[in-house]
Chains A and B, each alone.
Chain A
Amino acid sequence: MPVTIDIHTHPDFFEAVNSDLDQLEYHRQALGLYHATIAPLQHVFNQMNCAGIDRLVLLPLDLTTIDGRPVVSNEEMVKITALAPERFIGFASVDPHRPDAVEALEHAFADLHLAGLKLHPSRQKFYPTDSELTPIYECCLRFNKPILFHAGISLEPDTNSKYARPEGFEEVAIRYPGLRFCLAHFGWPWVTETAALLLKYPNIYTDTGLLYFDSAREFYDHVFKTELGEHWIDRSLRHQVMFGSNNPRFEQIRMIDALRHIGWRESTLELVLGMNALEFLG
């Protein structure tokens, strides 16, 4: 049975990082998930089992120069992944505006053994081509770690999508052909732009964490069969699209069910649901 991986989940409401109501409220406001409740570990496992997901990639976010704190820190990621190392894959995050950003990232990779880097240009307020990102990209190359960028519009507060248009990442792909990076959410609403980049640059990946309108089946049908050509993913982009739910904002169980019924070849589905994530993670 091929492995099934959700490449895009947020641990912000896990019990392990919400020891008091202040933390919970900060997480709610920071993510704009105003009614989210604390998730016991068993509940996370129940959701995974119900959706048929083997492993979650968990994404923190460092907002040191924006909010004066991370939403979930790299040290907390170590604590969370230790709860279920066979099921959780922890990423790091650094605020690129931190003077010690590179040192923090080296520490996250070398000492904390985190599996990749999450960056959110819209929330952390940088363009992918800003010069302060250069040493961060080089650090990822040095450690052979992938980057998952938020791309497209963000529903989080205090975000501007001008930083995260898919076209803004092309220069990074040109400069660093060996750097694997993911434009999350298929860069929605600029999904055609994302598809064009995937076609040209094999080091760019994307994920399926988009459910901005309608039910999962309706929205995926619209995006993957109307906005994009019905066969584009199944024929041309099948090695670069990864299942990601953006849980808890969207709906992990219904989204993966919708993908299982979308009509791609079984081999494409296996790639999207897990095999591509393994390649991406390295």
Chain B
Amino acid sequence: MSKILRVNMNDLSHKWESVPSEHAHLAGRAFTTHYVNSEVDPMCHPLRAHNKVVISPGLLAGTLAPSSGRLSVGAKSPLTGGIKEANAGGLTATRLAKIGLRGIVIEGAPSGDDWYSILLGKDSCEILKTNDYAGIGLYDLIGKIWKKYDSKPGIIGCGIAGQRLLRGAGIFGNNIENSDPGRYAGRGGLGAVLGSKRIVTIISDDSEGSRPEPKQKEKFEQGRKALVEALNKHPVTGKLNNDEGKPFGGLKNYGTNILQNILNEAGGLPTLGFSSGRFKDAAKISGEAVHDLVDRTKKKFGDKSEGRYAHSCHPGCIMACSNAVPYEETGKLHVSPLEYESAWALGANLGVGKLYDVAELNRLCNDLGLDTIEAGNTIAMFMEGGIIPYGDGTAAIKLLKKAYDSKSVDGKLVCSGTKIAGETLGVTRIPVVKGQALPAYDPRPIRGIGVTYATTTMGADHTAGYTIAAEILGIKGEVTDPRKMEKADLSRAFQATTAYIDSSGYCLFIAFCILDDDSGFAGMKDTFDGFIGHEYDVTEYGLKVLKNEREFNRNAGFTKEDDRLPEFFHTEPLPPHNVTFDVSDEELDKVFEGM
């Protein structure tokens, strides 16, 4: 039976609650959104006691459903001022699900200067004073924790940036091997909210736990098998090599950074602070380049090489799009993972074309507890403002290292998010929506994602409206042909589908094979329905989540005027297509008209 843990940091107490029957279907994003909207004052200061951190494993986490171990974290965002959900892989979702936790609600804030950690096991919760965990890099921290606890626990928490309440901070998570704290629920500054509760880590031990059981085992199993088969045979999500030993699955071979070259060819790769759609050195920092580096170091160092592709971000992920980037000279781990959005934010976006520099910037972000997308865009503001030059990876690394110094103003600013840094440095081209920086797809040639950036409750976020869903719905839902849909209807539809997937625990990339395979789509739905023992309509479920989020933001003072892209996207044509973002305000407003 799943439970909810409520932690009160005012008096360092906790209590267990059963999941109300009417909320039995809530998990992942649906859970965090419900509790944030129901319990957090929309007008509260996001970094003070009245905000709450809500954590929930996706519905299917811990089960044998493939690639279903995502963890959602929600709160009022200090970056956007609105509701936020960010999710990630890692170990914690599986650990929490196996000890029967549907969610954790952390409220209040302690007085004093002490730092705490929450230690969770089956039916147990301890709030420990862990001052020795604060103020240190996260690579050291996760190593220290696994040395102390031999159960190989899941770890999430905030790094130096979050502990200092800086708004570029994400929630880190350890990876399966505990070699890197790089599994980030990165966006929205949620690391700073956890820091405001004086919590450094949440450590979860499932050694006494058990695998969650579906209510309709046969249906679940049928769906699971169908989805596994669909994922494995698809050329994007499928096996590493074909029967002839040649590269097959795109994600296993090249990771999400397969997109670096693709978006570059499409002319939609934001380069040099969103001033061009093509980057001359895209190939050097691409997924292909990482694949090649891994192969080279394997050849050179054999089994001692720590470079990997086809690396799973959480237990049970069969798509394995993560990677581990090695140092060329030693074959030892440099950073894991190097995702597309990170390689873009810290590479093409800054004009940095050296893979080593990009990996080093990513490692620093992981160590400091920073969201790579926000950090990359923030460094771009230093470049745009003339403090350091575009293309200078060494200067960018030096700048980011200042963040370790608690007295450095530059160090604080580089952790404070794109909007704050841009405005402080006199920049007028600041790529944010609702205070959150844009990710790796320029909205001028790719207008669909621009509509999502503008209208999502989350601030500019590509995952909020996973555009693949347009085709899923167009083919398999009630909508029969996306060509007949208004842009607004379509954007709303795929934002709703994304909210469903974010609640299920599935990684968004399962949607990729579902696009091409009816049985995969049925598999996703059957596992969800079979687990909960009830049929849910995908769009309807997702729309309820979106309505909750819209309600919170409305009560926090957001209006349709907040659903806009920055002016320069409307006025500066982006080469090579030389187009601007020309979707009208009226069309943007239609996306959530009446919601």
Chain B associates with chain A: no
